[in-house]
Structure 1
Amino acid sequence: MTASFDVEEVLSKLNVVEKVSLLAGADWWHTVALPKHGVPAIRVSDGPNGVRGTRFFNGVAAACFPCGTALGATWDVELLHQAGVVMGQESKAKGSHVILGPTINMQRSPLGGRGFESLSEDPVLAGLGAAALVNGIQETGVVATIKHFVCNDQEHERNGTDAIITQRALREIYALPFQLVVKESNPGSFMSSYNKVNGTHVSENPKILGDILREEWGWKGCIMSDWWGTYSTSEAINAGLDLEMPGATKWRGEMLVQAVGVNKVAQHVLDERARNVLTLVNRCSASKIPERAEEKTADTPETAALLRKIGAESIVLMKNEGSILPLKKDKKTLILGPNAKVATYHGGGSASLLAYYAITPFDGIKSQLTTEPTYTVGCYAHKELPLLGNILHTASGEPGVSWKAYNEPPSVKDRKCVDELRLTKTEFLLMDYNPPAIKALLWYADIEGYFTAEEDCEFEMGLGVYGTAKLFVDGELFIDNETTQTKGTLFFNCGTVEEKGIVPVKKGQKYHVKVEFASAPTCKLDQGSNVLFGGGAVRIGGAKVIDAEKEIEHAAALAKGAEQVIICAGLNYDWETEGSDRETMDLPGHMNALITAVSTANPSTIVVTQSGTPVSMPWLSSVPALIHAWYGGNETGNAIADILFGAVNPSAKLPLSFPRRLQNNPAFLNYRTERGRTLYGEDVYVGYRWYEMLDLEPLFAFGHGLSYTTFSFTDLKISTISTTSLSSSSSSSSSEILKIQLKITNTGPLPGAEIAQLYISQEKPSIKRPKKELKGFTKVFLQKGESKIVSIEVEVKYATSFWDEVRGAWVSERGKYGVWVGGSSREGKGEGEGEGGVFEVERTGWWTGL
């Protein structure tokens, strides 16, 4: 990549057409270069939990970090900073100058399809955690893109839904994490959200992009749209949207040139948009990443160790009756469940990527046992059939399938193969598949592989497609997803349902599987307002047909003969994914019945759940121990085993509340779009604020998390420290720091870490406010019997203020404020230790800015 350039000098030399060309992407992942002026193209890449690179299809492997809620569950800004640094290093390996992450939208509901991407239901935990990630990423010279600004909190009709929200809720809950990231880390880029807020799409909303982000917060950077999240020409430019993504442009180009010509867009506004893009490109030169660099891997032992550490420190010990955990390594152990032999390490959509490797829970647990474990699946939990590529091999015996692309359909004799690949994953997203020899949007591919049956059984296969496809077994047409198609939710809602068929197989017999695929233009579905992409997509799945009732009986029988039982349950990237929200909090399939039956058969049953957002647990009272392991990245299985056997003492805390049932959650009546709008009727009472206000006991509270040791909190001290001045954007007359000190002692039998959570409450507010709100936190590691003095500092104005809708400003009211510091949000509810106190604000003051 060229050295840095003088932005103003370059800008002064550009004509209108050149300026306009900068304001939309060149393709999916690159900006437009202007070689004549020394302006290179820069590369961007997903995403929030790893750097995929430029290819959904047949991409280069990468490090997959634990999902957003797992990162939030660490409550450890130093650890997240380290994660950010490695993300930056991974980005350099992929030749990417900009990472499209982290995600800090709020988890209004347990059902949000992308809830797993975000860090927390609380804006302070989300904002400070994301700021640490951004600081780590940008320390490497790579730029972070904070997203999705703002209120992109559901997937249902996300491009058109109108978030109807009070200014108070917008500022105190949904915009606050973005405000904190700007204050604490200054990200180089923002991504606007798909949705509207109070009647106007965010990507063309001057109040949000201009008044709040640029003027009030004083942020200087480049705002890009989410992919196809630009909906206008003049409106978006005038509101402050710098970069339309992806390319080629839909709304800019000649239309924008004309808009400038007739003064719908002023010349100085065009200059400012171009200046912001040029500034981003110039800033990326610090990374020293070559332009359109080759994508490489950066798999190192140091990265693996960090991923394992983050994974283990994100796992929450939810329940541990009788201290049944940690487990013994020499006991007869049964491992079962649909997540046991599958590495469920990421959610779906932008967060999905091909990992360097992925450790299954079974393999991780087995590696730490000194006895051979027993295994059975117990039940299935898939939404779509598991990918068939895991059991297929090519004609030459290599793992996976062969891929052959053609310009002509199978009916053409002697057609010429124009691209040939071997692929291991049988889900193909083809939006970025464009080999030079394919000359048109319409093309074809044959996908072939073989498998050998392990037993006599019925085997079910599935075929989903965006385009058309037929599946053949030993030359016979088995599934026809071409002649008639039924719309489904696959591939960001562009695809069909998964069409299925069952074939009887014989143990030891080899079967030939072939799929004839035709690209997206052949699709017969009415796509409506869906965003259409590239060459289409195809997914091939398969699994042995099981009788759920008999399999559960078999699992229970095995459990009776085991000394300890580990059930690996939960969701996967089919259930939690960009493009669709969940319909229910329930675990899918027969998982609840499996857990109930097995725990009844063996009281020493441990449950490991995996999901990015809450699930219901009707069986909770029947199991003595539960850990929640999220989507844990490459090291998922090892991290789970480290917690189960005590190699790591659990220290994670929940970054979001787990309600007892779906109907209890604050967004229950107002989640999903109705008549084009979503009413944020819970106002500021999101997550724990709602449960505490209604005195409604959640299943597990925000901030909950147990340890194999115990802690005490004593000697709380509260003080305020005056600072010399405020930022120029604030109108408050003084600035003070609230300093909380207390002693934390490890009173238990093992070394461990505890998280001190600082909550503030106003004693006599002039309006209704949450009973208390998180304002700061810190994590401390203590040896057995050790004590340490810890401090939490936060500006008084951030600790005490609410948004005054009459004044259009934050207000810190005079009066007394309660302080609570403990190991959970459940003050007085029997969850660990804590200390409380009071401080006073002497005079009321209003402020804006940072």
Structure 2
Amino acid sequence: MKKKIGIISLCMLACSILTCAQTITPQAEQRAKELVSKMTLQEKIEYISGYTSFSLRAIPRLGIPEIKLADGPQGIRNHAPKSTLYPSGILSASTWNRELLYKLGQGLGQDAKARGVNILLGPGVNIYRAPLCGRNFEYFGEDPYLTGETAKQYILGVQSEGVIATIKHFAANNQEWSRHHASSDIDERTLHEIYFPAFRKAVQEANVSAVMNSYNLLNGVHATEHKWLNIDVLRNLWGFKGILMSDWTSVYSAIGAANAGLDLEMPKGRFMNADNLIPAIKTGTVTEETINLKVQHILQTLIAYGMLDKEQKDSNIPLDNPFSRQTALELAREGVVLLKNEANLLPLKGKTAVMGPNADLIPTGGGSGFVTPFSTVSVAQGLKELKKKNLVLLTDDVIYEDIVNEFYTDANREVKGFKAEYFKNKTLSGQPEVVRTESSVDYDWGYGAPLDGFPTDAFSVRWTACYVPQADGQLKLHIGGDDGYRLFVNDKHITGDWGNHSYSSREVELPVEGGKEYRFRIEFFDNISSAIIRFNAYSLNEAKLRQGLAKVDNVVFCTGFNSNTEGEGFDRPFALLRYQELFIKKIASIHPNVVVVLNAGGGVDFTNWYDAAKAILMAWYPGQEGGQAIAEILTGKISPSGKLPISIEKTWEDNPVHGSYYENLKAEIKRVDYSEGVFVGYRGYDRSGKEPFYPFGYGLSYTTFAYSNMSVEKTGEYQVTVSFDIENTGKMDASEVAQVYVHDVQSSVPRPQKELKGYEKVFLKKGEKKRVSVVLNEDAFAFYDMNQHRFVVEKGEFEILAGPASNRLPLKVLIIL
């Protein structure tokens, strides 16, 4: 048994780091206290909630200006209609490039200042437990060390521009299903080793100035009401002095949130308001000192950034910022991951066809991570620029033909169009108020009524039509709406999203027989707010498809998810939509050289179509410049250098959290027991012995690298410097991500076989060799002891492993601490 040696306690570590890094000085605290003393109780209570959905109220008599907040992690969503659309968070993590991530933060900070935004609501750092979480694309992957390092540089970059960064969502919001009501039940050790490290590093090393609570419950208590989480850990243990805010509508009580450390309720004071808090103060269930401290936290943070003394908006920074645009391009170049390259199909040689639903657009994830850019470069545009005469466009607008003008109101096919029936209720009940013929189903009524005399909300519409194809074929049907919509063909439900929601869409393929009648029925209801319904139908021109493919040497097929199928507030399936899988296989049956460019915020099920693709590029959501970066990689202008920040399982059942992702404890509230403990991601695969489809840290290159000559030097009692050589042994200049893992040979508690504790990204010209050094500190060897409630190191043997991926670690040295 090893002897346990306590490393610096987290409390002491917080104090030592904050002494030199804390921007909230005693002078800022004192000035904030003085301002609070001049405020009325009403003013103080009003100040601890949003003024508008994305601002804090001004108090002109005290010189306190209105403060603007803005989403989000991938670009500025609010206070301007357009902004730089950076690649998704998971792509940024895939770069493994600290310098570039700092530039990302700088770009976001500059974009914020150009719009007068004081507080940026990012980064998001919730750990990737499973591929199903709808917000995985915003986050930085499955490993706490990589996530923490990525977040640290992002935050340092943002705050270097005088903009407050907000790390979110604190804590353990690892799924989107029922996020307001599900409790993440996690033991103390797992929290501190897996789900807290990125937040702790943000506070203690990046000096993040705002933290956002999550929607979920943690061990049965909502995060915004969790005193242990917000006061004992965040404030007292880590030394946080900034603003703790709620996620939007994540407050569920007044007294609970007030006494548990929450400073700011957003977007409005639904609970923390005068009607609730003044009576609570009078009865003593909340003290006025508690309210004072909240206001002080907000003001001392603003004072530290000079936000009470100068205008935040910088008109010298263009809204369409060249620095930001270039940073978005560099991130995409380094974060795209080459997963498969059979027979070295890539870089592309000869004539290429580009096609697929994502070929001529830049897909993004949905929700607060969605940004409207000034301009985009699609894969088709990028390839057209680089390949020019060697490119054939077989995008959907080329190989599909619009057939809506072939729809008739009834089987007699006498009147073209759709029979439309409008109801003054949400349930299509009774007789319709209006019946008429319409040429298409494509309406955006905004906040208005669909027809004269109709309500602006709570109405429904049914459209019916018939279609008879001339020959056997394949239809592509697209339907979308805000709120509920559904599509029936021959009275069979085909697809839809029948609920109250913002705009979403669905797309399906439908095989049809020539001469057979197909009866279409589209149903829609509006609940409240805006009302949108759209339906399109297209027929695949297979002759055009085959003619086009016969002319080329390669096919680039762009497919995957988008903001309608992956985003905030809902989870997504593991597999691609069935029609996408079938189309990949269809193309492969016609042409032998298929490259799939895949858009997704995490792993997908490859099993049904992997063999059909000779090459696979994980493009994630690559941002506004993504098409150029992907084209440069496909054509060999640059070598891919991204590495996976996640493990991708062969089947969902293989995932270590498969049995503990959905509700699995019987209780009145939804409870999820994180029974895998610290064994999430590659830690869990190492433990179970199941091989993932693609391992953590994996990514191919157009060149080869050799690792050699490893040495380890003790530079302190619990500090070692690991050094080794990397040589580019191939024929192309390229970057390599060298990864360093630590294995505790014998431990008193179950520990992972290995854990990532260091990495460096190195650029090497062909034939070049460099010596790489990585410093490992105490936390590289420590685990969290639940008896002592702190991290400890057990003296004894540790293996240091290094290599290009978690499953390829050719270098190994044993050390004794």
Into which bin does the TM-score normalised by the smaller protein fall? 0.7 to 0.9
Aligned to 1:678: 672
Among 746, 755, 759, the alignment partner of 2:728 is: 746
Q: How does 1:147-546 map to 2 (within 5 A)?
A: 147-286=168-307, 290=311, 298-328=319-349, 331-344=350-363, 346-371=364-389, 373-377=391-395, 462=479, 464-466=481-483, 488=498, 491=501, 524=527, 536-546=529-539
- For the residue of structure 1 that corresponds to 2:720, the secondary structure is strand
For the 8 Å contact 1:192–1:226, the answer to whether it is kept is yes
Among 47, 56, 71, the alignment partner of 1:31 is: 56
How many Å separate the matches in 1 of 2:56 and 2:99?
33
Among 588, 592, 596, the alignment partner of 2:585 is: 596
Among 820, 826, 836, the alignment partner of 2:812 is: 836
For the 8 Å contact 1:341–1:360, the answer to whether it is kept is yes
Percentage identity across paired residues of the two chains:
32
- For the residue of structure 2 that corresponds to 1:10, the secondary structure is helix
Quote how far apart the aligned CAs of 1:769 are.
1.0
Quote how far apart the aligned CAs of 1:290 are.
3.4
TM-score (norm 2): 0.81
How many Å separate the matches in 2 of 1:35 and 1:264?
31
How many Å separate the matches in 2 of 1:228 and 1:283?
28
Q: How does 1:708-727 map to 2 (within 5 A)?
A: 708-722=702-716
Quote how far apart the aligned CAs of 1:795 are.
1.3
For the 8 Å contact 1:41–1:281, the answer to whether it is kept is no
How many Å separate the matches in 2 of 1:429 and 1:113?
26
Quote how far apart the aligned CAs of 1:263 are.
1.4
Quote how far apart the aligned CAs of 1:638 are.
0.7
For the 8 Å contact 2:379–2:631, the answer to whether it is kept is yes
Quote how far apart the aligned CAs of 1:487 are.
6.9
Among 794, 799, 804, the alignment partner of 1:823 is: 804
The 1:91/1:426 distance shift into structure 2, 3 A limit, reads farther
User: Per-residue CA shift, 1:515-559, capped at 9, x if unaligned?
Assistant: xx9xxxx955xxxxxxxxxx7233443433235xx75x8646643
TM-score (norm 1): 0.78
Aligned to 2:644: 654
How many Å separate the matches in 2 of 1:627 and 1:66?
15
How many Å separate the matches in 1 of 2:476 and 2:598?
27
The 1:199/1:633 distance shift into structure 2, 3 A limit, reads same
Equivalences, count: 709
The 1:615/1:429 distance shift into structure 2, 3 A limit, reads farther
Aligned to 1:801: 782
Q: RMSD of the TM alignment (CA)?
A: 3.5
For the 8 Å contact 2:711–2:722, the answer to whether it is kept is yes
Quote how far apart the aligned CAs of 1:376 are.
3.1
The 1:347/1:745 distance shift into structure 2, 3 A limit, reads same
Question: One-letter code of the match for 1:348?
Answer: G
Query: Is 124-133 or 302-311 further displaced after alignment?
Result: 302-311
1:788 aligns to 2:770 (yes or no): yes
How many Å separate the matches in 1 of 2:302 and 2:279?
26
Aligned to 1:411: none
User: Per-residue CA shift, 1:42-91, capped at 9, x if unaligned?
Assistant: 1100001111123xxxx521001100110000001110000100100001
User: Per-residue CA shift, 1:575-611, capped at 9, x if unaligned?
Assistant: 11101001x3111132222222322432222111111
- For the residue of structure 2 that corresponds to 1:234, the secondary structure is helix
Quote how far apart the aligned CAs of 1:231 are.
1.0
Question: One-letter code of the match for 2:34?
Answer: E
Quote how far apart the aligned CAs of 1:286 are.
5.0
Quote how far apart the aligned CAs of 1:36 are.
1.3
1:810 aligns to 2:791 (yes or no): yes
Among 30, 53, 56, the alignment partner of 2:78 is: 53
How many Å separate the matches in 1 of 2:327 and 2:167?
23
For the 8 Å contact 1:94–1:296, the answer to whether it is kept is no
Question: One-letter code of the match for 2:98?
Answer: V
The 1:742/1:369 distance shift into structure 2, 3 A limit, reads same
1:94 aligns to 2:112 (yes or no): no
Among 568, 574, 577, the alignment partner of 2:558 is: 568
How many Å separate the matches in 2 of 1:360 and 1:664?
35
The 1:460/1:815 distance shift into structure 2, 3 A limit, reads closer
For the 8 Å contact 2:104–2:154, the answer to whether it is kept is yes
How many Å separate the matches in 2 of 1:35 and 1:587?
54
The 1:497/1:655 distance shift into structure 2, 3 A limit, reads closer
Unaligned runs of 5+ in 2: 1-26, 403-441, 449-454, 460-468, 489-495, 511-523
User: Per-residue CA shift, 1:279-302, capped at 9, x if unaligned?
Assistant: 233234359873799999621333
Question: One-letter code of the match for 1:588?
Answer: L
For the 8 Å contact 1:70–1:631, the answer to whether it is kept is yes
Aligned to 2:147: 126
Quote how far apart the aligned CAs of 1:444 are.
12
1:772 aligns to 2:791 (yes or no): no
How many Å separate the matches in 2 of 1:769 and 1:338?
44
The 1:635/1:204 distance shift into structure 2, 3 A limit, reads same
- For the residue of structure 2 that corresponds to 1:311, the secondary structure is helix
Among 553, 576, 581, the alignment partner of 2:571 is: 581
Quote how far apart the aligned CAs of 1:148 are.
0.1
Quote how far apart the aligned CAs of 1:496 are.
9.3
Aligned to 2:628: 638
How many Å separate the matches in 2 of 1:809 and 1:427?
56
The 1:794/1:496 distance shift into structure 2, 3 A limit, reads closer
- For the residue of structure 1 that corresponds to 2:211, the secondary structure is strand
User: Per-residue CA shift, 1:12-50, capped at 9, x if unaligned?
Assistant: 212222211111111100112211111112110000111
The 1:806/1:166 distance shift into structure 2, 3 A limit, reads same
How many Å separate the matches in 2 of 1:210 and 1:347?
33
How many Å separate the matches in 2 of 1:209 and 1:342?
42
Among 583, 593, 599, the alignment partner of 1:610 is: 599
- For the residue of structure 2 that corresponds to 1:351, the secondary structure is coil
For the 8 Å contact 2:365–2:567, the answer to whether it is kept is yes
How many Å separate the matches in 1 of 2:295 and 2:309?
22
User: Per-residue CA shift, 1:694-745, capped at 9, x if unaligned?
Assistant: 11111111000111111111121212223xxxxxxxxxxxx63221111111
The 1:289/1:47 distance shift into structure 2, 3 A limit, reads farther
The 1:657/1:131 distance shift into structure 2, 3 A limit, reads same
Question: One-letter code of the match for 2:686?
Answer: E
User: Per-residue CA shift, 1:300-357, capped at 9, x if unaligned?
Assistant: 33332221111111100111222221113xx22211211112221x210000121111
User: Per-residue CA shift, 1:384-419, capped at 9, x if unaligned?
Assistant: x9xxxxxxxxxxxxxxxxxxxxxxxxxxxxxxxxxx
How many Å separate the matches in 1 of 2:800 and 2:163?
39
1:704 aligns to 2:698 (yes or no): yes
Aligned to 1:11: 36
User: Per-residue CA shift, 1:217-247, capped at 9, x if unaligned?
Assistant: 1111110000001111121111100000002
Question: One-letter code of the match for 1:656?
Answer: I
How many Å separate the matches in 2 of 1:768 and 1:546?
57
For the 8 Å contact 1:96–1:289, the answer to whether it is kept is no
Question: One-letter code of the match for 1:580?
Answer: F
Query: Is 614-623 or 220-229 further displaced after alignment?
Result: 614-623
